[in-house]
Structure 1
Amino acid sequence: MNHFVKSPEVESISVTSEKVELPIHYAELESIYSQTIDRGVRSLAITSCHGSEGVTTLACALAKRALAGGHKTLLVDMNFCRPALARELDIEEKPWQDLEGFMSSEIAYPDQTHAVSSPADVVPSGLAVLPAPVTPTGNLMLREKHFLSACLQAWLKEFDVVIIDTSPVNAINRHNLPAERIAAECDGVLLTVRSGVTRQAELSMAMERLSGMGVQLSGCVFNDINSPTLGDEIIRESYRLQRWLPGLMGRIRRWVRESPVLNMSV
């Protein structure tokens, strides 16, 4: 890809991450947080051009960061194409039957007593999650602009921040809730792009769909998992020892981030 579009307010940011293992301590995540939620964005949609670009990873990490910052946070999975939040956070999937109550009875608070492989996997106590429905019940109602807007208004009365994991913008099927519809109702929108995988034509198509709904991007996020720098790899591996050597690992990460050689792109 030789072209990238970014918002004048939020710069494009590179993030190297694996599946739902993006620690909230990452400087890149902090930059995204500080330029969206920390600036007063209360409803944030995160989308992509196509699947497997890191939307769920980023949504989970931002939700954890918002909660750590004292914001009562709701994480919503509206990716009816390939829902992932229930599986990633080990919560039960249910049909959305409480449409009149804006799915309030379907909101879960994940239990963090199950075993985790690393500190990044821990679900903060108090994080509220609305997983995608087992079946797309009520999908047609959700497609109505007034109902989607009413859902957000109801959620924002209860929560400080609502983060929505959407389906890819370019994914079109009968079960999907169009990502651009969701984005148009939110205060902020992030578009993730997988470096070396997403094509320029796919990015242009996604941008056209979003702009067609009057969506102004808050920013774009590069997922560099396919082309991490040596520094990125060292930082990622350092979190394996974070529990036992937090001070030393913190100093190593600071040194690595300041090293021009280790952060050279190949």
Structure 2
Amino acid sequence: MIHSTHSELTPMFLQLELANMRSVCLIGNKPRAGVTTFACALAEQYMLSGYRTLLVDLNLENPQFEHTWPIKNSVIEEADLQSSEVHWVQNRHTLQIFSGVAVPSTLNQQMPYRDPRSLAKQFELWFSKYDRIVIDAGAINQNQTRISQSVIANACDTTFITLGAGNSNKEQLSQAIDYLTTANANIFAVLLNQYAQQTLSQQLCHLIGRNRIIPKKMKERFNQYVRRWSFLNHAV
């Protein structure tokens, strides 16, 4: 979980505001790149800034949000709920609650997101009720048979690529950029997710642990010794 007031999130938010970007798509170069984490942080930042914010989960392979109860108030009419499927949605892990749309599970629910014209109409409906839209589109090429990320990214004002640090390379990033460029998406920035990246001490301990020649007690002493050094406890 990234706090909405994280020092590195604030400049990103200000740049989005200066560029007047109202709809933001977040796409990962591969699964577990941190798309949902960044989407939640950005949506929370928008809400704290006073914007009516909608969080849309289109991460079909790894959905993280579930409906809690429908939104019924003076701002959103019940007739609109059926077409836009807006509910209070909750993040299963952080328990954060947003006004949003959970993953469309049936083919009929997915159809509006597959066709560019239908999606454009859906955006018009959302913007009649909300100031900012944040879309969690999951990992590139995972939903191609059902919902194309190229269509989603093209429909949004801008797109962020989230990159898993430590398990991604330059070629994978280039492929992601080429994919979105072909879709005429406006790539705003690349977000580097270092949450799951191992520290140097963890990597050293892992290498020693795999060695079958070194005695177990010696391995334990080495691990204790390595963890004492603060300069080794940084992600590399």
TM-score bucket of the superposed structures, by smaller chain? 0.7 to 0.9
Distance in 2 between residues matched to 1:179 and 1:84, nearest whole Å: 17
TM-score (norm 2): 0.72
**Matched residue of 1:66: which SS?**
helix
Bigger RCO (CA 8 Å, 6+ sep): 1
Deviation string, structure 1 residues 20-72 (Cα, Å, up to 9, x no partner): x2111210111221111464211110111111100001101111110000000
Which residue of structure 2 aligns with residue 123 of structure 1? 96
**Rg larger in structure:** 2
| 1:64 and 1:123 in contact (8 A); partners too | no
% identical equivalent positions = 25
Distance in 2 between residues matched to 1:65 and 1:172, nearest whole Å: 28
Which residue of structure 1 aligns with residue 150 of structure 2? 180
**Structure 1: gaps spanning 5 or more residues:** 1-20, 94-99, 231-260
Q: RMSD of aligned C-alpha atoms? A: 3.1
Q: Does 1:91 align with 2:68?
A: yes
Q: What pairs up with 1:153-232 in 2 under 5 angstroms?
A: 153-175=124-146, 177-227=147-197
When the two structures are aligned, how many residues end up with a matched partner? Answer: 198
Distance in 1 between residues matched to 2:180 and 2:81, nearest whole Å: 25
| 1:188 and 1:218 in contact (8 A); partners too | yes
More helix by share: 2
Which residue of structure 2 aligns with residue 143 of structure 1? 114
Q: Does 1:35 align with 2:15?
A: yes
Of 182-191 and 77-86, deviating more is: 77-86
**Matched residue of 1:109: which SS?**
strand
| 2:194 and 2:235 in contact (8 A); partners too | no
Deviation string, structure 1 residues 123-149 (Cα, Å, up to 9, x no partner): 36xx31111123343434421110011
Which residue of structure 2 aligns with residue 66 of structure 1? 46
Distance in 2 between residues matched to 1:111 and 1:184, nearest whole Å: 27
Deviation, structure 1 residue 102: 7.9
**Matched residue of 2:33: which SS?**
coil
Distance in 2 between residues matched to 1:194 and 1:201, nearest whole Å: 13
Distance in 1 between residues matched to 2:90 and 2:55, nearest whole Å: 15
Deviation, structure 1 residue 104: 4.5
